[in-house]
Amino acid sequence: MSYNKTVTNSELDEIKELATDNNRILRKLLGYQRRQFFWFILRWVVVIGLTLGVFYYLEPYLKPLVETYRSLLLL
């Protein structure tokens, strides 16, 4: 069984239009994924930076509490 069909110019134009539309949609998706990845990384940089910043700011206040806790454990 053989399949032999000729493709007309209108069908080729339709295929080209679909491929162009598909390419446009895929490029939009790629741009969206890149932006999402950028915001994901930025969000974690901010979270880690704020955590370290808060620890750095509160360290002088926490140090005496930690020393008191350690001295109570040694009793």
Q: Please give the C-alpha separations between residue 2 and each of 5, 12, in angstroms, as whole numbers.
A: 10, 22
- What's the pLDDT tens digit per position in 25-37? 999 999 999 999 9
Instruction: Supply the pTM of this predicted model.
Output: 0.63
Tell me phi and psi for residue 2, to 5 degrees. Answer: -115, 150
Q: Residue 1: its pLDDT value, please? A: 56
Helix-strand-coil split of the chain, %, nearest 5: 85, 0, 15
Given a cut of 50, the residues of the chain with pLDDT beneath it are none
